[in-house]
Amino acid sequence: MYNQLKDRFGGPLSVGIVALIAIWLIGMVILPQLLMVDYSFRPNLLPAEVGSEKDVYSLTNYETLFNNGIHMTIFFKTIWSSVLVTFLTLVVSYPLAFYLAKVATPRQAALCLLLLIIPFWINEILRTFSWYIILAYKGPLNALLLGLGLINRPIRFLSGDGGVMIGMVYAYILFMIFPIYNAIESLDTNQVKAARSLGAGWIRTHYRVIIPHAKPGIATGCIMTFMLAAGSYAVPALLGSPGSRWFTQIIYNWFFEGGDWNQGAAYAFLLLIICISFIGLVMKVFKVGLGDIAR
């Protein structure tokens, strides 16, 4: 990467760019994570007790999670729900990305991209709250369904995880669309035409030609969507019911309501391990490397 930067920007500027990236990675990513790991193995002590004989490393904070059935249930539900959100977002995003890359005219693609991007100029909290209004028991969606005669009484969309799923798919759809769109756009259209000319249907063409080419984009979109979904706080807090808590809400409670940063760090570190494991799994399933994802 350095040689490419050097060829494009020259030696001194390339050194400066690499140095800034290194400072950002070390100061904003690596050191905070190492500090969180250190906190997770130490007990929650009073300031006067820090460094005393009580300040020892142990697995007590992790045992708290494994001994708490409710928290374990929420943990696994969060992971499974994040996988489901990723799958639903992929199902919605792939056809749209293909349309934008290979079907739509440049003017149509630009218009569609603009319509997709404009709502994201608004704060995520406000966008999520708009879904709260839409899905409310007496909201416009229930009113529309009642007016069309499709239902006899209002549906409680926000009573389970349904509202959270809808809100997350909407919130993170761009993180799935753009990587897939960029991958499909680089595909030579003649390959698609050749497959069609040889008698392949659209399903077979996508399965044998388009999807294999778009694997890096699909992998990138899945990774980004899963990471955002698993670490989301605002969407489940606004759209979730008391019975559909997200694991991030428990982490938040440990940090800011319980005041136990050590316990919160243990919970957060376990979530980080699961997210890293998901990245490795996706890379293995799609048979892509970090270089393919970073393109």
Do the Cβ atoms of 218 and 181 come closer than 8 Å?
Answer: no
Say which range, 201-205, 223-227, 230-234, has the weakest mean pLDDT.
201-205
Q: What tens digit of pLDDT does each residue of 8-50 get?
A: 656 677 677 777 888 888 888 889 889 989 989 988 887 777 7
Q: What tens digit of pLDDT does each residue of 147-167 get?
A: 888 888 888 888 778 888 888
pLDDT of residue 294: 61
Which residues, 6 or more positions from 58, have their beta carbon under 8 angstroms from its beta carbon? Answer: 41, 42, 43
Q: What's the whole-model pTM score?
A: 0.86
pLDDT of residue 11: 65
Which residues, 6 or more positions from 258, have their beta carbon under 8 angstroms from its beta carbon? Answer: 264
pLDDT of residue 266: 93
Say which range, 46-50, 169-173, 205-209, 227-231, has the weakest mean pLDDT.
46-50
DSSP structure class, residue 149: T
The mean pLDDT of 221-246, rounded to a whole number, is: 87
Do the Cβ atoms of 264 and 280 come closer than 8 Å?
Answer: no
- Domain 69-294: CATH architecture, name and number where available: Orthogonal Bundle (1.10)
The mean pLDDT of 66-77, rounded to a whole number, is: 91
